[in-house]
A and B are shown apart, each in its own frame.
Chain A
Amino acid sequence: MAVCIVALFLAGAAFIAWQWFGIRSTMVHNLLTQARMIASNSKAALSFKDAEDAKGVLQSLKAEPSVVFGGIYTKDGETFATYNRNDYELWKVKPGKLQKKGASFNKEFLTIFEPIAVEAEETGTVCLRSDLVPLDTMLKNNISIMFTVLLVASLVAYLMSSGLQGIISKPVLDLAKIAKIVSEKKEYSVRAAKHSSDEIGILIEAFNEMLNQIQKRDFALVNTNEELEKRVEERTTELRQEIVVRRKAEEELAATVKKLAISNRELREFTRIAAHDLKTPVRGISILSDWISEDYAKKFDIIGRENGRLLAVRAKRMNDLLDSIIQYSQLTLTDYKKEKLDLNILVNTTIESINSPDNIEIIVENKLPVIFGVRKFISQIFENLLSNAIKHMDKPVGRVRIECTEEDDYWQFKISDNGPGIEERYFDKIFEIFQILSIRDETESIGIGLPIVKKIIEMYEGRIWVQSTPGQGSTFFFTLPKKESEEIEHAAAELQTGVIG
């Protein structure tokens, strides 16, 4: 709107200025023409020095209301004839100020000087002066008109723009406002009001349709969200319950494990004490039977002496059995010192301590590893297996081989001999407690050696098994896991003592 007004104003001002200059030049032109006419008409009067004539010529200026003064001067500058408009008396061009030719404006008047010439000889000067009334009038009129037009145009423009605003801008701004509300407040239920059926109206319709869609989607989304949340909550509740149940089960399990561990310990302790206490009377039996045999041997017949001997043998067997029971029951990883064991050294020490007969050679085939364990138990494994091989050796030249291979998680050991071998149906039986494969009286063996080895290996979570060809020999395989024995000791300890953690 302001732009409009400024533009109009500038246009108006420019027009007025143009007009002003135009009128001025027209005025000059007109006055000059008049001056020239008078100059022409007063040539004769001047030449003949007829002042009356000249005056009469000047009188024609009356017809021009804006001319206030007219004067004819001799070429010397002396006043020849003058004319005044009625109200104008004041100024007469002083001869001193006379000019020959020219037009000039001052604040109040336009003054023209035009030379009078007869055949190119200057004879005098005409001076005309008019007021600026037309100019003023024109200016006033034009300015008024301009302002009026400005006003009217502005009004019209204002009305038009208001109207247009109402038709174009406002709906668009409204639309923008609504869009802003939608995006800021997430209010999808608002709609733009449609006021017209033109392009704006179409835009508004499309906008509203879009909002419809958005609202629907939003609604669906919220629904799905709520649905999901509900499901998550249900599931969480389910899971929580599951956890409670599971935790309870775990606690019960832990309690049971603890009870078992305690029970194990008590059982071991009981076994040890019982076996130990049983040994005393057994020893008494043995010693007494000794004395009886010795002191009263002469009084016995051959059957008596044989019975005495059998009695002694049985007493000894019982003692050995009790010793085995004690040894077996004490196999536990707790309370025993675990250390790094270099098997090369340990096995060789064991071989030396076994003191094998000259006809049996025991050879370690390859380098043995360094493992972590209880010295007493690991030694026992090799001691029992080697003793067994020696005890049962039936060949004139006995060969026992010890070998070790490395696997990912464990070491695998192999002890093979060229002894009598074992029949396949007994492969498992030999590891059972107190199972002996020959008649009891013919052997001193209790049958605890291999079960002890098996128990020790299983304590370390390894495996033991045998391969054999009867008549040719046997090979005992066993594995010892590599895993950080600390873990095993710890886990086993928990189980044995009932102390968890």
Chain B
Amino acid sequence: MLQQNYKPVLLVEDDTVDAMAVEKAFKHLNIKNKLAHTTNGEEALEYLKNTDNTKPGIIFLDLNMPKMGGIEFMKVIKADDNLKKIPVVILTTSKTEQDRVKTFDLRIAGYIMKPMYQNSLIEMIDKIHQYWEMTIFPDDY
């Protein structure tokens, strides 16, 4: 996805099936980037703060999760000088205006509704991959 070093993709998703679907899509599309999976905002923060882990090139973020939801998580990382530059794409079932407004206010890079069908998901991931592939990240990202 992200050319130079194939930066990892962080998936923050609490539903097993939804997470599996994304993994399967990656496999199907032969995406080289590593997919890291955390099941809620707290876990995701831990992952990001852990210096052993490479900073992901993009975060796929679900909104409704236990312990720390998507919006809460976003507020935290957007307040962090180091983490705020990571592009975030929301992958959610929620269509509500409030969620859209709040997330856009927090400067997301995309808001996508989780599809019912695997094929549709594969299509979407493909598009996202093709798009972000073109981006050149700064050297000291």
Bound form: Cα–Cα A31–B33 in Å: 182
Q: Are A283 and B116 in contact (CB under 8 A)?
A: yes
Q: Are A315 and B116 in contact (CB under 8 A)?
A: yes
Give chain B nearest CB distance to A496 CB in angstroms. Answer: 16
Q: Are B96 and A294 in contact (CB under 8 A)?
A: no
B94 surroundings in chain A (CB, below 8 A) = 276
Q: Are A326 and B95 in contact (CB under 8 A)?
A: yes
Q: Are A288 and B116 in contact (CB under 8 A)?
A: no
How many A-B contacts at CB < 8 Å in the complex? 41
Q: Which of B15, B18, B94, B116 has the most CB of A within 10 A?
A: B116
Give chain B nearest CB distance to A147 CB in angstroms. Answer: 127
Bound form: Cα–Cα A290–B28 in Å: 14
Task: Decide yes or no whether B17 CB sits under 8 A from chain A.
Answer: yes
Partner among B21, B64, B96, B116 whose Cβ is within 8 Å of the Cβ of A272? B96
Question: Quick one: which of B109-132 are within 8 Å of A by CB?
Answer: 114, 116-119, 121
Bound form: Cα–Cα A323–B93 in Å: 10
Give chain B nearest CB distance to A209 CB in angstroms. Answer: 93
A287 surroundings in chain B (CB, below 8 A) = 17-18, 21, 116-118, 121
Binary per-residue interface labels of chain B (84-107) against chain A in the complex, 1 for a CB within 8 Å, 0 otherwise: 000000000111100000000000
B96 surroundings in chain A (CB, below 8 A) = 272, 330
Task: Decide yes or no whether A280 CB sits under 8 A from chain B.
Answer: yes
Task: Decide yes or no whether B24 CB sits under 8 A from chain A.
Answer: yes
- How many residues of B are counted as interface, with CB atoms below 8 angstroms from the partner's CB atoms? 17
Bound form: Cα–Cα A280–B94 in Å: 10
Task: Decide yes or no whether A319 CB sits under 8 A from chain B.
Answer: yes
Task: Decide yes or no whether A279 CB sits under 8 A from chain B.
Answer: yes
Partner among B21, B93, B117, B118 whose Cβ is within 8 Å of the Cβ of A280? B93
A316 surroundings in chain B (CB, below 8 A) = 116
Q: Are B114 and A283 in contact (CB under 8 A)?
A: yes
Q: Are A286 and B116 in contact (CB under 8 A)?
A: yes
Binary per-residue interface labels of chain B (1-43) against chain A in the complex, 1 for a CB within 8 Å, 0 otherwise: 0000000000000011110010010000000000000000000
Task: Decide yes or no whether A291 CB sits under 8 A from chain B.
Answer: yes
Q: Are B17 and A284 in contact (CB under 8 A)?
A: yes
Q: Are A294 and B118 in contact (CB under 8 A)?
A: yes
Give chain A nearest CB distance to B119 CB in angstroms. Answer: 8
Give chain B nearest CB distance to A111 CB in angstroms. Answer: 149
Bound form: Cα–Cα A279–B94 in Å: 10
Question: Quick one: which of B72-91 are within 8 Å of A by CB?
Answer: none
Give chain A nearest CB distance to B29 CB in angstroms. Answer: 15
Bound form: Cα–Cα A319–B18 in Å: 15
Bound form: Cα–Cα A266–B61 in Å: 28
Q: Assess A284 versus B18: contact at CB under 8 Å? Given A290-B117, A291-B118, A294-B118.
A: yes
Bound form: Cα–Cα A286–B114 in Å: 12
Give chain A nearest CB distance to B111 CB in angstroms. Answer: 16
Closest to B117 in A: A290
Bound form: Cα–Cα A315–B116 in Å: 9
Q: Are A284 and B15 in contact (CB under 8 A)?
A: yes
Q: Which of A287, A290, A291 has the most CB of B within 10 A?
A: A287
Binary per-residue interface labels of chain A (280-314) against chain B in the complex, 1 for a CB within 8 Å, 0 otherwise: 10011011101100100000000000000000000
Q: Are B15 and A290 in contact (CB under 8 A)?
A: no
Bound form: Cα–Cα A29–B104 in Å: 153
Q: Are A290 and B118 in contact (CB under 8 A)?
A: yes
A284 surroundings in chain B (CB, below 8 A) = 15-18
Give chain A nearest CB distance to B69 CB in angstroms. Answer: 13
Bound form: Cα–Cα A294–B122 in Å: 14
Q: Assess A291 versus B24: contact at CB under 8 Å? Given A283-B114, A286-B117, A315-B116.
A: yes
Give chain B nearest CB distance to A374 CB in angstroms. Answer: 11
Bound form: Cα–Cα A283–B24 in Å: 16
Q: Are A319 and B118 in contact (CB under 8 A)?
A: no
Q: Are A276 and B93 in contact (CB under 8 A)?
A: yes
Bound form: Cα–Cα A454–B94 in Å: 25
Give chain B nearest CB distance to A118 CB in angstroms. Answer: 167
Bound form: Cα–Cα A326–B24 in Å: 30
A276 surroundings in chain B (CB, below 8 A) = 64, 93-94
B positions within 8 Å CB-CB of A: 15-18, 21, 24, 64, 93-96, 114, 116-119, 121
Taking A277-B64, A315-B116, A316-B116 as known contacts, 20 extra A-B pairs with beta carbons closer than 8 A to each other, sorted by chain A number, are A272-B96, A276-B64, A276-B94, A280-B18, A280-B64, A280-B93, A283-B17, A283-B114, A283-B116, A284-B16, A286-B116, A286-B117, A287-B18, A287-B117, A288-B17, A290-B119, A291-B24, A294-B118, A319-B116, A323-B95
* Shortest Cβ-Cβ A-B pairs, 8 listed: A284-B17, A290-B118, A286-B116, A279-B93, A287-B21, A319-B116, A287-B118, A287-B17
A positions within 8 Å CB-CB of B: 272, 276-277, 279-280, 283-284, 286-288, 290-291, 294, 315-316, 319, 323, 326, 330
The 14 sampled A-B contact pairs (Cβ below 8 Å) are A276-B94, A279-B93, A283-B114, A283-B116, A284-B15, A284-B18, A286-B117, A287-B17, A287-B18, A287-B21, A290-B118, A294-B118, A323-B95, A326-B95
